[in-house]
Amino acid sequence: MWKPPERIKHPLLDTSWPSAEEAAGSLLFSPLKVGSLTLEERTWVPAMVPWRATEEGFVTEEILAWYERFARGRPGAIVVEATGIRDIPSGPLLRIGHDRFIPGLAELVETVRRASRGHTRLFIQLIDFLTIRRRPEPEKFFRRYLEITDRHRAALGGDLSDEEIHQHLLGLPDEKLEEILTPRELESLRKGYRERVTDTHLPHIRDLPRVLPGLFAQAALRAQTAGFDGVELHYAHAYTMASFLSALNSREDGYGGSREHRARLPREVYERVREGVGLDFTVGCRFLTEDCIEGGSGVEDAIHFGVELARAGMDFLSLSRGGKFEDAKQPKIGEAVYPYTGPSGYECMPTVISDQKGPFGRNIPAVTQIRRAVREAGFDTPVVVAGGIGTWEQAEGVLERGEADLVAAARQSLADPDWYRKTRLGRGEEVRRCLYTNYCEGLDQKHKQVTCQLWDRLDLEEPDLRLSKDGKRRLTAPPWDPERRA
């Protein structure tokens, strides 16, 4: 993973923990209305892909165990990982693009209800993404993928056959290729082909505004049928909807260019979803405070989007940052580019090796501005903050200062899924604190089953323990028994 050049190692934040009485009187552990439902507390486990679905996208026993483990900590809400809305092969990504996925998802809902004893509300994140190919062998790229154009002919001599042009290109040094290939062709050679929302010469990309509202709406209906409390529309990071919001979206069909036009499809998707599920089902979205890439959207854009999405009727606005393809590291041949490997990826999941600002709460100042603008526009839509928040003081402080309404913690919840419950019971000293070194994210990048370094080698002799595919790691955190004192 990319690290800021300053390479400053930040210690974990000092913290103290509340007594049970203090926790009971806190904002963090007080209820909040989100759409038509009430969360018992303002704690939130945001979406985290654990790579446990089948190759066909179905819920597995491992997925049930993963969410059951979070549910035992009884947070206010859990958002199920990014789940694909199309009925297309997507590798081991959880899917909701057909009714055949409903029974597995219904079991997931039931598992979380049971494990949290009804205390936790469950949302599911709905995602659409465009085609991305692995970085090819240069030979394969020139022979199979590169379409020979007049530009190549002009550079290499007009009377060569396509085969001769392939051969020539294959033998050229990098500087020469940089002169002859277009930036897009070079990118496909060096990182692998990647579609963009601006590729409107491709009919299926041109048609996205016509197709996506229906796909999201059907997926949301399935989520409702499966028993979820709501959906989170994934408008963040490197995926289709975030690319519509991005300042890099220069589409000229009324869905790109100005902020108003970039927000149009996200609004239309929301409207269609709402039409389908009605007012009693919670519908929110996750989007970016800042793209954190050259030419991308900044906080002024996000302020506009926040106000417009609140105006449209979103039940919550969850804010992340960065996580884009544009600045991602070059993958190895045979691997696909991964959006969390560049500076914008760092902004999304910062580690303790950082710059002056450090990894803790980096997103809070931008979230504060967006929330303020939403309030000034007259909307009370709850705002969720995430990014390097893992202590009691941080979480309660964010709420006390009115910087956000709900506090999401991904990695801290992975490190210790019981941390909310321990804190609420006045037993914060027992919290296993995340080190923010991103061992988990390294596994995610390789599409390996995600676990935490703090517990995945503990108590491996436990009976009936489910292990990772490499047989070395347990897949969920060891159980915590509140009856037993540490």
Q: Residue 12: CB partners within 8 Å, gap ≥ 6? A: 352, 433, 435, 436
Please list, residue by residue across 309-347, b when 16 or more beta carbons sit within 10 angstroms of its beta carbon and e when fewer do: bbebebbbbbbbbbbbbbbbeebeeeebbbbbbbbbbbb
Q: Which stretch binds ligand SF4 (CB under 6 A): 73-81, 86-94, 104-112, 429-437?
A: 429-437
Distance CA 366, CA 452 (A): 29
Furthest-apart CA atoms within the chain: distance in Å:
84
Among 410, 431, 452, 475, binds ligand FMN (CB under 6 A): 410
Q: Which of 411, 422, 424, 474 lies at the binding interface for ligand SF4 (CB under 6 A)?
A: 411
Indicate the residue among 234 and 473 with the shorter CB distance to ligand FMN.
234
| Residue 320 binds which entry of ligand FMN, ligand SF4, none, CB below 5-8 Å type-dependent | ligand FMN
Region binding ligand SF4 by CB under 6 A among candidate stretches 107-115, 211-219, 434-442, 462-470: 434-442
Contact stretch for ligand FMN (CB under 6 A) within 40-48, 84-92, 307-315, 421-429 = 40-48
At 204, which helix (H) or strand (E)? helix 203-206
Q: Within 10 Å of residue 381's Cβ, how many Cβ atoms?
A: 23
Residue 76 vs 387, nearer CB to ligand FMN: 387
Residues in the chain: 486
Nearer residue to ligand SF4 within complex by CB, 316 or 419? 419
Query: Judged by CB under 6 A, does residue 284 bind ligand FMN?
Result: no
Cβ-based neighbours of 186, under 8 Å, separated by 6 or more = 177, 178
Distance CA 31, CA 39 (A): 5
Which of residues 31 and 442 has its CB atom nearest to ligand SF4 in the complex?
442
Cβ(455)–Cβ(447) below 8 Å: no
Are 29 and 41 in contact, with CB atoms under 8 Å apart?
Answer: yes
Closest CA to 317 of 269, 283, 348: 283
Instruction: Establish if 40 lies at the interface with ligand FMN (CB under 6 A).
Output: no
For residues 184 to 223, the per-residue mask of contacts with ligand FMN, x marking binding by CB under 6 A and - elsewhere, is: ----------------------------------------
Distance between CA atoms of residues 10 and 132, nearest Å: 35
Supply the minimum distance, in Å, between the C-beta of residue 411 and ligand SF4.
4
Q: Using the rule CB under 6 A, is 395 a contact of ligand FMN?
A: no
- The string of DSSP letters for 402-448 reads TS-SEEE-SHHHHH-TTHHHHHHTT-GGG--------HHHHHHHTTP
Contact between 409 and ligand FMN by CB under 6 A: the answer reads yes
Q: Does 362 bind ligand FMN (CB under 6 A)?
A: no
438 contacts ligand SF4 (rule: CB under 6 A): yes
Q: Does 286 bind ligand FMN (CB under 6 A)?
A: yes
389 binds ligand SF4, rule: CB under 6 A: no
What DSSP designation does 201 have? Answer: T
- Does 411 help bind ligand FMN (rule: CB under 6 A)? yes
For binding to ligand FMN (CB under 6 A), which residues are involved? 46-49, 81-82, 125, 234, 236, 286, 320, 348-349, 386-389, 409-412, 440-441, 444, 450
